Every structure is written in structure tokens, then in C-alpha cells.
Amino acid sequence: MSDFKGKLFVFSAPSGSGKTTIVRHLLEQERFNLAFSISATSREPRGFEKDGKDYYFISLKEFKNKIKNDEFLEWEEVYRDNFYGTLKSEIERIWALKKHVIFDIDVVGGLRIKKKYPKETLSVFVKPPSVDELKIRLKKRKTESEEKINMRIAKASVELATAPQFDKIIKNYVLEDALKEAEDLVSDFLELNKNKE
């Protein structure tokens, strides 16, 4: 276990809100010293996804074994037999690199991490302009069937109701503004501005 205990940045939102774009942007800002927390999933890789980069792809059986052995910081069965979770070893891996952890994670997982590490975690909810806009964004991706998109939209309505439970809410109406706001939040939480004064 590393003696370095970094900060945790949780970015959660309904699918299509732009949280992944925001997280990628923050990872490019070297001054924040962030590393991406790779989630584990029992689903098959999609498109160009790579094991150990986008996700740790593990079998359903292995996933359930890890749950039994208490190896997850948080996990959830998002759809039937479709599990996602954050391995405790992933946080240790990043802290061993003396970096802060950033998560691109669903709202349930995000809130669970905040509960486990209340002082170290900044939880941010990324709010889309509207559910209709979400549907347009998801369709533009062309990665999923109409049925899957409708499932995501139904889930989005439930997820939007959890926004007040997060420390901060970023309204992603104009991407440039949302990126700037995200940078400011991370900077403040790391107290980078204090050093300059």
C-alpha cells in the first residue's frame, strides 16, 4: 500500500452528457497530476476498446468471485449480467504512482466512492441541457440499437434526480464553459491556487 494518499475526482452523469470528454480534457492537464481509474466490467469489448486501457474485461464468473472476495471499492449490475466496478487495487495502483485518481463513472458508483472516501473525494455531476439533447447525442454515436438508447434514456431520468447529492454540478450546455468550470473545480480541490497567492 502506498503512503501517498491522493485525491479522488468522481465525474458522473447520464450516458451522453459529455463526462468522458471532460475527463479526457482534465487528464491532459499535466499540472493536475491525474490518472484515470480503469473500471472492470463483465461485458464484451465494444469497437476499439482495449483491455487494461478502456476497461479491465473479466468474465462474469471472475467478476462474481471478486465481489465475494471484497476486491471492489464499488460495483453494480447495470443491466442483467452486465457488471461494472472499481477494483480497490486500481486506487492503490494510481496512488503508488503518486497521482490523483479521476473516475468516469455512473452515478451510483460515484456516490459510493464519495461515501467510502468522503474527505478525499470531489464528486461532480455533469448535467446535459435536456433529456431530448441526450437522445440526439446518443443517436449520433451510432454505437447502440434504438432499444439500448431508450434504456439509457429511461435510466437518465432517474440519474438526473441524483444530481443534488453530488458536491458540484456542471451544466454541460457549452462544452468550452464546462471544461473551464471542471478545471477550476479540480484546481480548487487540489488547492493549486493557494500556492500562487
The confidence score (pLDDT) of residue 155 equals 87
143 annotated to bind ligand? no
Domain 8-188: assigned CATH number: 3.40.50.300
**Residue 3 pLDDT:** 73
> Does the annotation flag 19 for ligand binding?
yes
User: 0.75 cut: is pTM over it?
Assistant: yes
Cβ pair 11, 19 in contact under 8 A: yes
pLDDT value at residue 15: 85
At 84-95, the pLDDT tens digits run 999 999 999 999
DSSP secondary structure of 12-73: E-STTSSHHHHHHHHHT-GGG-EEEPPEEESSPP-TT--BTTTEEE--HHHHHHHHHTT-EE
**According to the annotation, is 130 in a ligand binding site?**
no
164 is in an annotated binding site: no
Residue extents of the structural domains in the chain: 8-188
Q: Quote the pLDDT of residue 176.
A: 96
Q: Is 20 annotated as a binding residue?
A: yes
Positions of the chain with pLDDT lower than 50, given as ranges: 1, 195-197
CA distance 109 to 11: 10
14 is in an annotated binding site: yes
Question: Which pLDDT score, from 0 to 100, does residue 194 have?
Answer: 62
pLDDT of residue 196: 46
